[in-house]
Chain A
Amino acid sequence: MAIHKVCDTECCTLFLFAKKGDNIEISYIMEKTILIGGEAGLGAAVTSHFIGKTFTNLGYYVFNYRDYPSLIRGGHNFNILKISDKPVYSHEYKYDFILALDQKTIDFHKKDLNKGGFAFGPKETDPIVQKLQGPKILANNVLIGLLFKYFGVDLNILFAAAEKTFGKNADMVKKSMQEGYQLGSEKEKLKKFKSRCFISGTEGMGIGAIAAGIDVYLAYPMTPASPLLHFLAKRQLENNILVFQPENEIAVINAALGASFAGAKAMVGTSGGGFALMAEGLSLAAMTELPLVVYLGQRPAPATGLATHTGQGDLKFALNAGHGEFLRVVLAPGDAQEAISRTQEAFYLSSKYRIPVIILGDKHLAESNYTFNDIEKSSLAANRFILENPPQNYKSYKITENGVSPRAVPGQGPIVLANSYEHNDYGHTIEDPVWAVKMQDKRFKKLNYLKKEIDKLNPVSLYGKGSNLLISHGSTKGAILDALPQLKGFRFLQISYLKPFPAEMVAKEIKKSKKVILVENDARGALADVIREETGIAIENKVLRYDGRPFTPDFLIDKIKKSK
């Protein structure tokens, strides 16, 4: 078990090493929450990212949350930016600024404006856009100008950022920023610190995949996994990888296995509905023992559910999808940095053990932006685990000590087979009972070796101190970490490997805790069932949220304080 550093700044280490009963007072120099909203297509997401990136370049910590309905034009999209000079991993619904691209945004959110907060909208932007005779979208830049004037940020910093984001033809953009800037008034003077990194969960997964040496990424569009398809497709030439969108998810997974058979490092991505279509292919990956990484970006279901929102309701589906009994790894990154290293681990384990590995994410992880001092990669080798010179008497499913058959690929010389039927060690179809048992045992032999390997990859992480325990997995990490300083007596156990399950580590932490509360973004608390199945321990106390929205610290603190 690893006692994790939450981050490398004072505030987190403060509560990590605080003694029981210590009264920690954290005085923030700067903490602001900004809502940016408008109809879809008006630019809220781009503006929000721009503001966030500008603040991280100034050395501030930013968390960016996206909330949007399933439509392309109209509706009401909004982003929430939480900005602080201390690490921040979540958002809240109380705003210091509302930047509105339409009146509806002000009408909807005005009730949540903090005392002394500001709301800027069409009243401020319309006259300027008219004066400049530019497109309506310039309102975004007027708002940006207004906001940064408040913080006393030099206009040239904005101009440089605008050129970086919008290219050299950013004249109108800069002009409208300047107009907004002149309209605003300076209330604070921000200090500048060392620039930080601003990155989303999706981007983390993309970087992780590239760092792990991905060759082929296949996916059929489905929110919230599509951003990874776009990310990798856009960068395919410069990174020498191939990205393709086949006709459906069934084709996706079968083609990925064909590519894996041919020697490529292959990954597929989808959400729950597409993953359901891939279930038979997942079983095929296990039977053929072809490495495959599957990204499952969850959203609320059943069926189409809440297409553009978040949830963790597919945990048990990820653990159990596919017919028959077979080994798999299911891991759940908790933030964008973990998305990088866990994706690298996914490729490593999948290639080394010739098993499917599922990266369990969700919309909240995929589409939120996080701030880190630096971006780090896992030190795991991006090995292909393919024999250099396979022998002529090569057997595709050779029975070995650890159950892993050394891998060769077609073209190397010897005949290479992959078979969905039960097979002998050569790969030919068999029906006799002796081989059937031999092969099933061979595939399961990998488990012990896999467990030992995973034990070294921090399958669980513990944050904070206290006799009470919060348990969760995946993207809930952010809100929990931000709530933890205000939850006296609680520590947090994040489970990153859901399969094989680190049962002993989890049981040990539960047993030494007075009160144990499960936190999960679903309706039934599936992780509690998993823990009971794996450890025999029942967790009765659950804080759940299943309205399609992620947890916020306020929500958690309220529910946890009310819990028995």
Chain B
Amino acid sequence: MNPEEFFSKETNTWCPGCPNFGILASVKGALAELATEGSISVKDTALAAGIGCHGKIFDYVNLNGFNGLHGRVLPVCLGMKLGNPNLTVVGFGGDGDTFDEGVSHFVHACRYNANMTMMVHVNQVFALTTGQANAITEKGFVDGSTPLGQGEKPINSVLLALELGATFVARGYALQGPHLKEIMKRAILHKGFSYIDILQPCIVYHKHSVPYLNKNTYKLDEAHNISDFNQAIEKAREWDYSYEKDAKVPIGVFYETERPTFESQWPQLKTPWHAIDRKINWDNITREFK
């Protein structure tokens, strides 16, 4: 399958040169390759997106999709799995979307371990509302809402996902497309909740991250044992999302493990509900009240 089969004729309104284009290309590539390999069925694949620059991806990938509310991508994804366990579900969130407005859902998504993938576009600002600081923005960042400078340290979302029990935790870089595509493929194939922290430096409101990330990112290689939780934590701590001094920024798969999926706790959740032709036995459901 050709990635361009996911082409959507919608006009793309991301800023020229936005790293989101890299994420878009990687997604299309990953889905096309998985479909070619027979690992996914495109008609049984659905995406969900939140609100923010990232959310526009809903219009740019021609695929079943749900563009929901700001911060609520994860419950929508979870609902899709409850509604049809056969769906391959891929969620896209912004960092403000996921770690400010919707952080409670992220905490629980890591616990639940539903078989789905969450890709968060980490640009460290609320870009579509003109660049306010968010939960991943580094301390000291100055913007329209925070003229005195962001007062708090950012959330390390990779560390958070690990601590909360996500069974697949990775980081990609939007400007390293082929590498990101491979991570996406592994995340989608992983059975359980997969989280990818995608560094997507905003070229308008958070320009300084581009040269920094170009200089400091490095790929985790075979020396990193993805089944070693402590090693994953160590790697996650190498960079704290700040820009004061150069630090190594690892990209790649940090951790992968297995745990029963969320869906498996319901023996009745086997087929899409809409395919079930229900026969209601009125006597059975009313007997206890007679």
Contacts and interface: CB of A to CB of B under 8 A. Distances in A.
Contacts of A167: none
Contact of A429 (B64, B67, B77, B80): B67
B78 to A, nearest CB: 5
Interface in A233-247: 235-242, 244, 246-247
B278 A412 contact: no
A263 B83 contact: yes
A195 B290 CA distance: 7
B278 A261 contact: no
A247 B103 CA distance: 11
Interface string B56-68: 1011001111111
B274 A264 contact: yes
A250 B289 contact: no
A258 B78 contact: yes
B104 A198 contact: no
A469 interface: no
Interface size range of chain B in the complex: 35 or more
Interface in B69-126: 69, 72, 74-84, 86-87, 104-105, 107-108
Residue among A195, A215, A239, A256 with the highest chain B CB neighbour number at 10 A? A215
Given A195-B290, A244-B82, A410 B64 contact: yes
Contacts of A218: 79, 82
Interface stretch (A12-20, A89-97, A203-211): A203-211
Given A263-B83, A411-B272, A246 B78 contact: yes
Interface stretch (A416-424, A450-458, A471-479, A499-507): A416-424
A288 B66 contact: yes
Contact of A250 (B43, B48, B72, B280): B72
A535 interface: no
Residue among B8, B63, B80 with the highest chain A CB neighbour number at 10 A? B80
B240 to A, nearest CB: 27
Residue among A198, A241, A248, A418 with the highest chain B CB neighbour number at 10 A? A418
A428 interface: yes
A258 B67 contact: no
B80 A261 contact: yes
Interface in B1-49: 8, 10, 43-46, 48
B66 A415 contact: no
B117 to A, nearest CB: 15
Contact of A261 (B58, B59, B66, B266): B66
A216 interface: yes
B87 to A, nearest CB: 6
A386 B82 contact: no
B273 A264 contact: yes
Contacts of B107: 247
Given A237-B268, A246-B108, A418-B65, A262 B10 contact: no
Contact of B266 (A242, A266, A412): A242
B274 A384 contact: yes
B285 interface: yes
Given A262-B272, A421-B67, A429-B58, A255 B285 contact: no
B84 A419 contact: no
Given A215-B273, A242-B266, A264-B274, A420 B67 contact: yes
A410 B285 contact: no
A410 B79 contact: no
A319 interface: no
A260 B79 CA distance: 8
A477 B209 CA distance: 65
B83 A215 contact: yes
A109 interface: no
A417 B82 contact: no
B129 interface: no
A257 B67 CA distance: 11
Contacts of A235: 285
B144 interface: no
Contacts of A266: 79, 83
Contact of B82 (A236, A255, A429): A255
Nearest to B76: A258
Interface in B235-281: 266-269, 272-276, 278, 280
A213 interface: yes
Contact of B46 (A211, A216, A262): A262
A530 interface: no
Interface of A: 195, 197-199, 203, 207, 210-211, 213, 215-216, 218, 235-242, 244, 246-248, 250-252, 254-266, 280-281, 284, 288, 375, 377, 382, 384, 386, 409-413, 415-421, 427-429
The 8 closest A-B pairs by CB, nearest first: A258-B79, A262-B83, A263-B274, A259-B83, A255-B79, A254-B75, A215-B273, A410-B64
11 contacts: A248-B104, A254-B76, A257-B79, A259-B82, A260-B83, A263-B274, A418-B68, A420-B68, A420-B69, A421-B67, A429-B67
Given A235-B285, A256-B79, A258-B80, 20 more contacts: A210-B285, A213-B280, A216-B273, A239-B285, A240-B278, A242-B266, A246-B108, A250-B75, A255-B79, A257-B76, A259-B80, A262-B79, A262-B80, A262-B81, A288-B66, A410-B43, A410-B44, A413-B43, A420-B69, A429-B56
